[in-house]
Amino acid sequence: MKFIDEAKIYVKAGDGGDGCVSFRREKHVPRGGPNGGDGGKGGDVVIRASRSHSTLLDLKFNQHHVAKHGGRGEGSNKAGRGSPDVEVIVPVGTIIRDAETGESLADITTDGQEYIVARGGEGGRGNARFATSTNRAPRYAQEGKEGEKRWIELELKLLADVGIIGLPNVGKSTFISRVSASRPKIADYPFTTLKPNLGVVRYGDFETFVIADIPGLIKGAHQGHGLGTKFLRHIERTTFLLHILDISKDSHTSAWEDFESINNELALFSPALIEKPQIVALNKIDLPVTRERMEEESSFFKKQGIKLFPISAVTGEGLDVLIWEIAKTLQERKVS
């Protein structure tokens, strides 16, 4: 399924129904009073979050959402029927903005959360409402109010406890497939991950946390190079980051250079990202070239005050230690 994380839609709430001008017409009642009923309320347009949706793809091809008008009032003081609301389903983690002003209207972060993005117009009052002691037979009624209308922009930012970052082909997708039920595309060439993948990791007896595999970052990602800014936004909501490194390539220089390169892109995209705590893992230790350089790299990171976790996403070596470190860090962050 194609991953769509932005959409622009038009919403129009229903207009209120007009009030009715009517008078009693009964035998033997020569001066029947006004009995025109009120108009019905127009339907609202409501945004609702659901975990059953993971992208904004449906809204990319269904851009207009219009609610029906309220019913007209009738004689005998009968009110017009109110129109049903129109519901627009979005994934959890969707931000709603006014397309014209750029104003942020709502941040939908929980399953079932709702936001009325366009309110239906109130129904007009019938002539029975305007009767007074000095005006016993009003021949006018109120028109229904117009419902709200606007263009809105929707932006999806995934909700996850841990965001996995790193250069292309460092083994992020292999890692998430190994520790969760997520099955992203895995291949030996850059940018095999073209959309974020969410996975639920279970540890202990009943504990879980959610990880997000973000497509590989390259130099200039903050300017949109590679897959750049298209997916950097998805790690803004995470509690902390898992930074995976790979030094198995023959032409490789050092893990530290890759580490600094990625962090530089994070800082240029958003200063808040570089403030997020990181756990750093050195992947592919099942390969001889990585095994040979592992001690040297670990020693260098240690001097910088960073613990390097050696793992192999292919064989599973070191994954248990890393998972428990992630779980411990999450618990500490929740307490603080």
Q: For the chain, where do the domains classified as CATH 2.70.210.12 start and end?
A: 6-156
Q: Kindly state the average pLDDT of the residues 183-201.
A: 55
Average of pLDDT values for 13-35? 86
pLDDT at 225 over 50: no
Helix 172-179 and helix 319-335, axial crossing angle in degrees, nearest 10:
80
Contact 272, 299 (CB under 8 A): no
Q: What does CATH list as the number for 6-156?
A: 2.70.210.12
- Helical H runs in the chain? 57-60, 172-179, 228-232, 255-269, 271-274, 288-303, 319-335
| Arithmetic mean of pLDDT, 103-113 | 93
Per-residue pLDDT, averaged over 14-37, amounts to: 86
The per-residue pLDDT for range 40-86, each reduced to its tens digit, is 999 999 999 998 887 788 898 899 999 999 999 999 999 999 999 99
Cα R_g (the chain), whole angstroms: 29
- In terms of Cα–Cα distance, which of 127, 206, 117, 216 is closest to 163? 216
Q: Average pLDDT of 242-266?
A: 84
Greater confidence (276 vs 117) lies with 117
pLDDT at position 189 is 37
Q: How far is CA 336 from CA 306, 307, 329, in A?
A: 21, 21, 11
CATH fourth-level superfamily of 162-335: P-loop containing nucleotide triphosphate hydrolases (3.40.50.300)
Residues of the chain within CATH 3.40.50.300 domain(s) are 162-335
Is the pLDDT confidence value at 223 over 70?
A: no
The pTM of the full predicted model, rounded to 2 decimals, is: 0.67
Closest alpha carbon to 281 in 245, 252, 315? 245
Residues 138-164 have pLDDT tens digits of 999 999 999 999 999 998 877 778 888
Task: Report the pLDDT value the prediction gives residue 248, as an integer from 0 to 100.
Answer: 86
